[in-house]
Amino acid sequence: MWASRSLRCCLSICFVPTSFDLFCRGVFGLSLSHPLPRDLTRPVHVGGVQIGGGAPVVVQSMTCTDTADAQATLAQVCALAQAGCDIVRVSVPTEAALEGFRTICAESPVPIVADIHFNHKLAIGAVEAGAAKLRINPGNIGDWAKVDAVIDAAGAAGCAIRIGVNAGSLEQDIAEREDLTQPEKLVMSSERFVKHFEDRGFTNIVLSAKAHSVQTTLDTYRALSREIPHVPLHLGVTEAGTKLQGTIKSSVGLGILLSEGIGDTMRVSLTADPVEEPPVAWGILQSLGLRRRGPEIVSCPTCARCQVNLIPIAEEVTERLKNYSAPLSIAVMGCAVNGPGEASDADLGVACGRGQALLFSHGQIIGKVAEDQIVDALMAEVDKLIEEK
């Protein structure tokens, strides 16, 4: 029914540049291209953000406030945007939430996605309230007549829809199939809904099929990439756990898929403050060379050669750089072995010794500072470099 993945176009990231990408190229002379292949899916526009079609991988998160409290939710949306979200999802479980949602859409700095379960009328109401995209769950949205009503409303408004399949809430006829593995069930539900949407002429869709198991996630998304190659995929490991466990599971699962060219948008799900999620997503993307946001800190794990307490120095540098947008590489090293030599690619760095540290840039020593001046001196050089650029 679907074209094989072998027919899908791949590119070494031929993407639609964002303003940040253009900033990197124009100011720092950096190219964000990378040899990792990217699967070319159909472009879907969510407000002013493109998902798929070669665009950069889009970072998402979700609010946890009461949506009926529009101001509290807007505050969290703004915090998520500042933390790196391109798009933010908001749950709309009630009519009261729908009223707040209208205000949120009107005042949000980023496109807003309405997360809908059980009640298709709330989905239609969210479209009318200004949602840039809906997320509906095939397992609980209702019969095809209700789905079609949502499709018609979204189509008329130019609103995108994510078909959000979830391992914990599959359609009953699929969930009861004992002859199918969990990934096969997720793929079957996904194919069923994508076909129905496309048969009705609605192609403004993004697809996700989430589970809490990393292996199930890998098997499912690889199959979707083969079987439905043109539909943009939203990556995520659902119910991933608390900050440490969730970061590990998401980094492994999403990192593997992205390294294989699979995935157009992503959310790292953590049982934590939502603002903890975007930095993890950006870290995954930056580690793979797919996108970059702000400075990268290169620091050694320390050993017996280290003669300073490096951990608080590295932590303070990281904290003071957290709101910087320039894509610099900053090294904080514990000795001369790991200093200008091993960190020679760093734009700026320090190699610490007993009571003092060497400042260096691209492997060349540019100064010497006392131990209690390390962070201030390094930050002064960072600011100077940015001003010169």
Phi, psi (deg, nearest 5) at residue 88: -130, 135
Q: Which strands, in side-by-side order, build the sheet including 348-353?
A: 296-299, 329-333, 348-353, 356-361, 364-370
Residue 300 annotated as part of some ligand binding site: yes
> Across-strand partners of 164?
208
Rounded CA separation 42/206 (Å): 9
> ∠ CA(74), CA(76), CA(79), 5° rounding?
110
Q: How many C-beta atoms surround the C-beta of residue 150 within 10 A?
A: 24
Structure-token pair, residue 237? 């490991």
> ∠ CA(348), CA(352), CA(355), 5° rounding?
135
> Across-strand partners of 51?
44
Strand ranges for 131-252 from DSSP E? 133-136, 160-166, 205-210, 234-235
Phi, psi (deg, nearest 5) at residue 201: 85, 10
Do the Cβ atoms of 295 and 327 come closer than 8 Å? yes
Q: Look-up: residue for tokens 């993945």?
A: 5
Residue 10 annotated as part of some ligand binding site: no
Q: Determine the angle formed by the axes of helices 374-388 and 310-321, rounding to 10 degrees.
A: 30
Residue 335 annotated as part of some ligand binding site: yes
Residue 303 annotated as part of some ligand binding site: yes
Strand ranges for the chain from DSSP E? 10-12, 37-39, 44-46, 49-51, 58-62, 87-91, 112-116, 133-136, 160-166, 205-210, 234-235, 265-267, 296-299, 329-333, 348-353, 356-361, 364-370
If DSSP codes are grouped into helix, strand and coil, which group holds residue 161?
A: strand
Q: Give the residue ranges of the annotated binding site.
A: 300, 303, 335, 342
Q: Give the residue ranges of the annotated binding site for [4Fe-4S] cluster.
A: 300, 303, 335, 342
